[in-house]
Amino acid sequence: MRRFAQLLDRLVYTRSRNAKLRLIGDYLQSTPDPDRGWALAALTGAIDIPGVKRAAVNAIVSERVDPVLFRMSRDYVGDTAETVSLIWPTRELADGDTADLGLAAVIERLLALGRADAPAALADMLDRLDPPGRYALLKLAMGGLRVGVSARLAKTAFAQAFDLDVEAVEEVWHGLKPPYPELFAWADGGEQPSIEDIPVFRPFMLAHPLGETQVSMDEFAAEWKWDGIRIQLVHVAGETRLFSRTGDDISHSFPDIAQAFREAGALDGELLVRGDAQGGAEGGAASFNALQQRLGRKNVSAKMQADYPAFVRLYDILFDGSEDLRDLTWTERRQRLEAFVPRLPDDRFDLSSTIDADDFEALAALRDGARDAAIEGVMLKRRDSAYLAGRKTGLWYKWKRDPLIADCVIMYAQRGSGKRSSFYSDYTFGCWTADGELHPVGKAYSGFSDDELKWLDRFVRTNTVNRFGPVREVEKTLVVEVAFDSIHASKRHKSGLAMRFPRISRLRRDKPAHEADTIATLKNMID
């Protein structure tokens, strides 16, 4: 456990991507099984500890430490695991109880815990660890390491450490389970694990932003970029799985789609909700707000499925049965996809149509005029491109529609997490009602520079008028320009509105608060 805690500590304070790759690779090469397998699972977010909840951690800390001191410390530090690791009182233990806990033993014990016995077991392990070990334990128990390492980076580090191709690692990854004995046997010179009869995730082909580039419509095909979530459907050996863009299995959230996809193969598409569920065009796609009602749910009721009927708009085909089509050109894959789609239920699947534009200028005019609730912009795909994992220069481009803009007033602020735990970096902003009241319309924690963050933090500290736990209410004097992709009606918010991807694009210190936009102005922006 001590070596894993040291790895996390060093990763937190390492900014260089290459340095992070070396740190992880060195750890994996020098650590025995199964500890290195569990470490890789933790770094890729593949460990779920169902028996441990944040409330259990708060409860055991409150038994050992004054609750007011803990709350104040948590507010200052900005991270529960770090706060507990530092504030936990050390107890005198017998010599036999102070030995370093093995990472595998810790994780296996955590996985076996139920909610009733979790508090006592956690307290016992915290007593036997030093502060870095406590931090690592709590990060494992509560999920989300937040050490600046993505799942892709961890897999890349593994591949580089053992001289393997990272795309080959991705190919087998989702057919294996922690602590990955087959994966490390392969890394040590054995055979590549077989996944022939397992529905596994294949890395998506991704697009670069178009920017100022202009392309020839003779060389590129254009499709609408739909505002849902990109998914991969895989059916092998009688089993269907749905994967998100990051490779997470989301089949349980969309059992209606999984049950409807019974043709052997692997398809790439956009998961959407029927437009008539939210007042859209009959048979069309609703806004992302409608889809969001179903995202992340472990159990989806029949009523939820009926109220928000999901379907998939298909973009591409990777496998037809067991035949791998990824080396074919986009044009050839499109023909295979058009032949495949009629075999699927038309209430759950349809084909993403191509956009008919004679030239780039004509496409630009179509894009500028598209304000459908479910359209984000345009995709451009080179007609002779194979389906290649990741972002490849010059093959696929995404051309999002220009963001919407509104001037809003900062109302509340909260500390960030991790590297931002010392700054008030999460801002709730609002717009004016007809009665002259400010109602919150969104929350943003991005879009500003480091210097602007420092200025905003000082503004919050010197203009606080009230406190609600970790949240500060500030004087309603600062206007910020907020950019967002779309806005939708919402019954969950007092303003009746929900923004999609809001970010602060500019500080409007020159603008008086009473000149900020109104709720009515935002409602007029609803698609």
Domain ranges (residues) in the chain = 2-142, 205-400, 404-523
Residue 399 in contact with residue 210, Cβ under 8 Å? yes
Mean pLDDT along residues 348-365: 93
CA distance 122 to 51: 11
Range ranked top by mean pLDDT from 123-127, 245-249, 418-422: 123-127
Residue 48 in contact with residue 41, Cβ under 8 Å? no
CA distance 191 to 358: 51
DSSP structural state of residue 264: S
Residue 18 is inside which H or E element, if any? Answer: helix 17-30
CA distance 450 to 458: 13
- Three-class SS of residue 467? strand
Of the options 3.30.470.30, 3.40.50.300, 3.40.50.2000, 3.30.310.40, the CATH number for the domain spanning 205-400: 3.30.470.30
Mean pLDDT along residues 75-94: 83
Name the fold adopted by 404-523.
OB fold (Dihydrolipoamide Acetyltransferase, E2P) (2.40.50)
Among the residue ranges 392-396, 488-492, 496-500, the one predicted with the least confidence is 488-492
Q: Please give the C-alpha separations between residue 221 and each of 217, 272, 315, 340, 359, in angstroms, as whole numbers.
A: 6, 22, 12, 20, 11
- Under 8 Å CB-to-CB from 179, ≥6 apart: which residues? 33, 34, 35, 36, 37, 38, 40, 41, 104
Q: pTM (2 decimals)?
A: 0.75
Q: At 95, is the pLDDT very low, low, confident or very high (cuts 50, 70, 90)? A: low
Q: At 527, is the pLDDT very low, low, confident or very high (cuts 50, 70, 90)? A: low
**pLDDT the model gives residue 94:** 61
Mean pLDDT along residues 136-151: 89
Residue 29 in contact with residue 38, Cβ under 8 Å? no
**pLDDT the model gives residue 367:** 87
The string of DSSP codes covering 351-401 is: EPPBP--SSHHHHHHHHHT---TTEEEEEEEETT----SEE-TTTEEEEEP
DSSP structural state of residue 274: B
- Under 8 Å CB-to-CB from 238, ≥6 apart: which residues? none
Residue 54 in contact with residue 84, Cβ under 8 Å? no
Give pLDDT tens digits for 160-210: 999 999 989 988 998 899 999 999 999 999 999 988 888 999 999 999 999
CB-based burial label for 12 (10 Å; 0-12, 13-18, 19+): middle
CATH H-level, domain 2-142: superfamily: DNA ligase, ATP-dependent, N-terminal domain (1.10.3260.10)
Four-CA torsion 356, 357, 362, 368, nearest 10 degrees: 40
Mean pLDDT along residues 297-325: 93
Q: At 493, is the pLDDT very low, low, confident or very high (cuts 50, 70, 90)? A: confident
Q: What mean pLDDT, rounded, does the chain reach? A: 90
CA distance 432 to 516: 7
CA–centroid distance for 123 within its chain: 31
Quickly count: other Cβ atoms within 10 Å of residue 129's Cβ: 23
**pLDDT the model gives residue 99:** 56
CA distance 411 to 475: 7
**pLDDT the model gives residue 247:** 84
